[in-house]
Amino acid sequence: MSTDSNWGGHMLKRIYADNFKSLVNFEWQPGAAHINLMLGPNGSGKTSVFDCLERIGAFATGEGKIDDLFPSSTLTLWQDVNTQTFEIEWERQGRLYLYELAIAHSENRTHCWVSHERLHFEGKPLLEFKEGKVTLYGFRGIFNNLVRSGIPEPMQTYSIDETWSAMASLPASALYTDVTWFKTALRRMTVVQIVPPMMDETSIKESQHPLRYFQNFVSWYRWISQDQGMAISLQRELKEILPGFSHFKFEPYGPEARLLKAVFNEEGGNQIALTFNGLSDGQRMLVALYAVLHGLSAQPEGLNGATDQPGTLLCLDEPDNFVASGEIQPWLTAAEEQLSKTKTRLLMISHHPESINYSLMPSSEETYSVYWFSREENSHTRVQPVASEQPGGLKPSELAARGWLKP
């Protein structure tokens, strides 16, 4: 499969996890297509991959301590092993980062700590954290400066708590440009499983990051809607999706909060304004799905002066819930268009027949990479690419339902 020039060579290349839920010695290299579709039965480990990515990203960017993000409940149940190991490879214009994290749990599994944390770029060390001591590597006193030759040397050491990330402890600085780039890429990794009944219709303040179940959708929409062009474009598209929809508006709700309302046109020229929670679950789901696509261009953090800004990795868990079959195809088409405009890659878990059939059409080979996740009871997760050409006679969705998809 070919990659689009808009990718800029910025994408997740590989994830490895051992002793995390059903992920045992698990390795996955997502395809180079814009959309990676993750198929397989419930309990096969698809969501565990998203959990793993989300927790690693939160730890490495300083959003939580190791014992909060990786409690003993994340250990593989059928193993008596007290160490968890993770690796992430991320491409930056043809060059590779390798991030390694090992977590040690106590014998009674009441607490855990960082056994080691390392970051390499092009095979050369940038950072190492072990036994409470952080070592930064550099060249002639300049840390992490995209050096293409030479042997890096330890330039600085210091101690931190073994429950925190050494990478997160580094400030955004010109001294640590390579580390900062990788941290920015992790911050632009978004894991979302949209659950409309959990969405709050009010907002106290703006939010740059969606929460896992999009409870803070209204706060996030407040932030992205500051881009008036994006907001107008989104509302124009929603007019074609939601019958009678006109626009959104915010109204004061108490001394600090704002209430989101959707305005609809009625027959006779009148308008009616519904609170966001006054919409159906399906309508809120569609609003959130299209807003996510349009919000891809609104990046939370940037790198001052950098010409190779990291793209976005969007992980969507079953985006086709709460919506009708006829509404999936238009959204998939819109997703293809928006992803091609932005440096964004979509990892998508789906069980929906429309998504499965569409992704395995011959014309979709350049857009989709499809993977089948499987797992036997009390065993680990396995993943295999799905062949674009399948046995004739049945639709791919029917083959998936019967477990007959051909790797």
pLDDT in tens, 106-148: 999 999 999 999 999 999 999 999 999 999 998 654 444 444 4
Give the Cβ contact number of residue 325 at 10 Å: 10
Output the furthest CA–CA distance in the chain (Å, rounded). 75
For the stretch 14-28, pLDDT in tens is: 999 999 999 999 999
Whats the size of the chain, residue-wise? 407
- Contacts (Cβ under 8 Å, ≥6 apart) of 161: 132
In 3D, which of 122, 119, 143, 145 has the Cα closest to residue 130?
119
In the chain, what are the domain boundaries? 5-188+299-402, 196-281
The values of phi and psi at residue 283, to 5°, are -65, -45
CATH architecture under which domain 5-188+299-402 falls: 3-Layer(aba) Sandwich (3.40)
How far apart are the C-alpha atoms of 197 and 200, rounded to whole Å?
Answer: 8
What's the pLDDT score for residue 176? 82
Answer whether 26's CB lies under 8 Å from 52's CB. Answer: no
Lookup: tokens for 213 = 């179940």
Q: Is the pLDDT of residue 149 over 80?
A: no
Mean per-residue pLDDT, 230-253: 94
For the stretch 280-303, pLDDT in tens is: 999 999 999 999 999 887 776 666
What's the pLDDT score for residue 389? 76
Give the Cβ contact number of residue 80 at 10 Å: 6
The values of phi and psi at residue 58, to 5°, are -65, -40
- Contacts (Cβ under 8 Å, ≥6 apart) of 301: 184, 187, 188
What's the pLDDT score for residue 300? 67
- Contacts (Cβ under 8 Å, ≥6 apart) of 83: 19, 102, 103, 104, 105, 115
Task: Tell me the HSE value of 127 on the side-chain side, using a 13 A CA sphere.
Answer: 30
In 3D, which of 47, 110, 44 has the Cα closest to residue 73?
110
Mean per-residue pLDDT, 192-218: 96
Confidence of residue 7 (pLDDT cuts 50, 70, 90): very low
For the chain, the average pLDDT equals: 89
Place of tokens 């219709």: 201
For the stretch 66-104, pLDDT in tens is: 999 999 999 999 999 999 999 999 999 899 999 999 999
Answer whether 12's CB lies under 8 Å from 313's CB. Answer: yes
How far apart are the C-alpha atoms of 33 and 45, rounded to whole Å?
Answer: 21
What's the pLDDT score for residue 297? 73
How far apart are the C-alpha atoms of 314 and 347, rounded to whole Å?
Answer: 6
How far apart are the C-alpha atoms of 61 and 186, rounded to whole Å?
Answer: 7
How far apart are the C-alpha atoms of 70 and 23, rounded to whole Å?
Answer: 14
- CA dihedral of residues 223, 229, 234, 239 (deg, nearest 10): 130
- CA dihedral of residues 399, 366, 352, 11 (deg, nearest 10): 120
